[in-house]
Homo-oligomer: A and B are copies of this chain.
Amino acid sequence: MLIYDKILAKKSKAFRQWMKSFDLSYGVQAGEELKAVENFPKHIQHLVKLCENTSSRRLTLVVAGGGSVGDFGGFVASILKRGVGLVHVPSTWLAAIDSAHGGKTALNVAGSKNQIGTFYPAKQTVLVKDLLLAQPEERSFEAFSELIKIALLEGGEFWRKLRAEKEVTSEMVWRYLPQAIAGKMRIVNKDPQEKSGHRHLLNFGHTVGHVFEAYYELPHGIAINYGLDFALKWSARQGILSAKAEEEIRTAPVSAYLLSAERDELLSARESVLKKWNQLLLQDKKKNSSRRLRFIFMKKVGQPVIKEVSVDEILMELCRQKEDELHD
């Protein structure tokens, strides 16, 4: 059974042709509404009805779409008849490099993201070059934060190659997909269900990135770029990241993509904004006690360091980085 983003069928004749190879299919509209648990009964009723004459043993869901469709379709596969086969066909760069790998599925509850879900790795994730390249060129930029995140966490050959790149393009992201995915999976496989804490490394840049994403309604990739920049600056200020190591990162041409003209304007020291950011940080479900959370700093390329910090320390550092910008 195919679960697919309707926009793909609308835009591509090749996709419509491919759809015909499925016995059953269910089109959805991508976005956070699809992941709202409030809409789930309606979807699951249709899906159960669709496959009522199919043996659950032989049923495989093929899920074609971006992050929201993958989260939704993966969740359905994990609970339908207590779990059926799952194949992801990501249609966005972000899904192709990140969310289609590692087995996380999720729905939102009362507007809060990913409050329920499962760990349910796909049997296969199929990367279709034509499908990915059909996106506007600028979308590739959204996958860049995950690409540089994994390269910084892994270091070595991967980072040395990425360092030499001049520009982020679709072609470039496509070329690095296998390495980025393998790097992510090396971390995931050590802690597939987030029990030991090792998988938490993948949260590098995401603590503050998620705050920007939610508060300014930025695309995920852009917000995480800023979150990575924040984490690197904080690592340097704390003396965890040496000046030499920082320079090695900052002088890589692609590191320029972590920043943008708009980024500085997003920083704020206004009380009303900080209050909201405080709330958003506390909502972070990876918190390990009421006001403390594990933050990923960088010691040098390939050497992340997890340290427990308080929400207040993060807010203070956000204010400090705002001040630095004013003085620059």
Contact = CB atoms under 8 A, between A and B. Distances in A.
Interface of A: 37-38, 40-41, 44-45, 48-49, 52-53, 55-57, 78-83, 104, 106, 109-110, 112, 115-119, 193-194, 283, 285, 287-290
Given A48-B115, A110-B49, A112-B48, A194 B82 contact: yes
A324 to B, nearest CB: 33
* Interface SS majority for chain A: mixed
B285 A116 contact: no
A45 to B, nearest CB: 5
A112 B80 CA distance: 12
Contacts of A116: 44, 48, 79-82
Chain copies in complex:
2
A123 to B, nearest CB: 13
Contacts of A49: 110
A112 to B, nearest CB: 7
Contacts of A52: 283
Contact of A80 (B78, B82, B115, B193): B115
Nearest to A47: B109
Contacts of A115: 44, 48, 80-81
